[in-house]
């Protein structure tokens, strides 16, 4: 079933007053469906349907399997099983499913154990995961800094592999890199994100222009000092921003 068809069925179900009242669903609890067409050139490989449910924005999309070419992060996408969909994800903690029929969590990759151990680990062998889509290197950094989890040592070793770094620099647009970096800076611990970028040696892969080979590489021996200072500034800035938001809330 496609995401669009699932969304339509959800709306049909909730439009029946007897069924909706059974779950305490009010007419305004389910928003309108919005279909977002697939656009592989913009790294949007599948049609998605979005809807606001109980104030939360949800995306509906079908289970899929992916096949990657060597020179692109845009895969050939086809319908797949839940297990195939789980294996294609970037991290095991991001590959958990909830079965609506059995009301049970389905874990094909060990994500529950990794969540308990506070570990960010790839579902498949790390080298294959990162070479299929090098952007996953930055996504793992973002997950680790956001959740306060450690990155699996096997994944860390591969994230610093020259082949993976070259693929990250060449195959991934600076726009997509920028999106991930922005999410890190807006996350729970931007300082930790910068530390991981430094520890993994990702600077040249994400901060340089892949179209220019003549740019000299900066000396990074003092980077940790700058990273720490920037982290302190980010901490103060984020704390100040949150304080402003709190102060602007109407009194209760």
> Is 68 in the same domain as 145?
yes
What tens digit of pLDDT does each residue of 82-92 get?
898 898 899 99
What tens digit of pLDDT does each residue of 201-210 get?
898 888 877 7
> Is 38 in the same domain as 81?
no
* DSSP 8-state secondary structure symbol assigned to residue 217: P
> Is 139 in the same domain as 227?
yes
Going by pLDDT thresholds of 50, 70 and 90, the confidence category of residue 112 is very high
- The domain boundary residue, chosen from 62, 85, 106: 62
Enter the tokens of residue 169: 């620099």
In a domain, 215, yes or no: no
> Is 135 in the same domain as 174?
yes
Give the range of the structural domain holding residue 45, as residue numbers without chain letter: 1-62
Q: What is the mean pLDDT of residues 21-36?
A: 80
- The domain boundary residue, chosen from 32, 62, 92: 62
Distance CA 54, CA 57 (A): 9
Which residues lie below 8 Å from residue 122, measured CB to CB, with a gap of 6+? 90, 91, 92, 129, 130, 136, 140, 152, 155
Residue 122 main-chain phi, psi, to 5 deg: -85, 145
- Closest C-alpha among 41, 47, 34 to residue 175: 41
Q: How many domains does the chain have?
A: 2
In a domain, 173, yes or no: yes
Distance CA 147, CA 92 (A): 13
In a domain, 214, yes or no: no
> Is 78 in the same domain as 197?
yes
- Closest C-alpha among 91, 87, 49, 50 to residue 66: 87
> Is 115 in the same domain as 172?
yes
| pTM above threshold 0.75 | no
In a domain, 252, yes or no: no
Q: What is the mean pLDDT of residues 173-182?
A: 91
> Is 121 in the same domain as 199?
yes
CATH classification at residue 73: 1.10.110.30
Distance CA 147, CA 149 (A): 5
């Amino acid at each position: 079933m496609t995401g669009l068809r699932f969304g339509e069925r959800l709306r049909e179900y909730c439009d029946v007053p007897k069924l909706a009242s059974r779950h305490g669903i009010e007419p305004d609890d389910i928003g309108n469906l919005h279909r977002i067409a697939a656009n592989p050139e913009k790294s949007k490989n599948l049609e998605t349907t979005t809807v606001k449910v109980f104030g939360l924005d949800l995306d509906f999309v079908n289970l899929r399997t992916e096949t990657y070419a060597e020179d692109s992060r845009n895969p050939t996408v086809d319908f797949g099983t839940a297990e195939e969909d789980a294996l294609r994800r970037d991290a095991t903690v991001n590959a958990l499913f909830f079965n609506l029929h059995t009301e049970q969590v389905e874990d094909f990759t060990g994500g529950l154990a990794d969540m308990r151990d506070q570990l960010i680990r790839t579902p498949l062998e790390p080298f294959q995961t990162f070479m299929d889509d090098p952007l996953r290197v930055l996504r793992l950094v973002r997950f680790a800094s956001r959740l306060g989890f450690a990155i699996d040592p096997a994944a860390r070793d591969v994230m610093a592999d020259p082949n993976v770094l070259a693929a990250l620099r060449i195959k991934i647009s600076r726009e997509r890199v920028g999106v991930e970096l922005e999410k890190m800076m807006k996350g729970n611990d931007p300082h930790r994100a910068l530390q991981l970028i430094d520890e993994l040696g990702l600077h040249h892969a994400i901060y340089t222009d892949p179209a220019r080979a003549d740019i000299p590489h900066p000396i990074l021996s003092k980077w940790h000092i700058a990273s720490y200072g920037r982290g302190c500034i980010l901490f103060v800035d984020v704390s100040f921003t949150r304080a402003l938001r709190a102060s602007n809330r109407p009194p209760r």
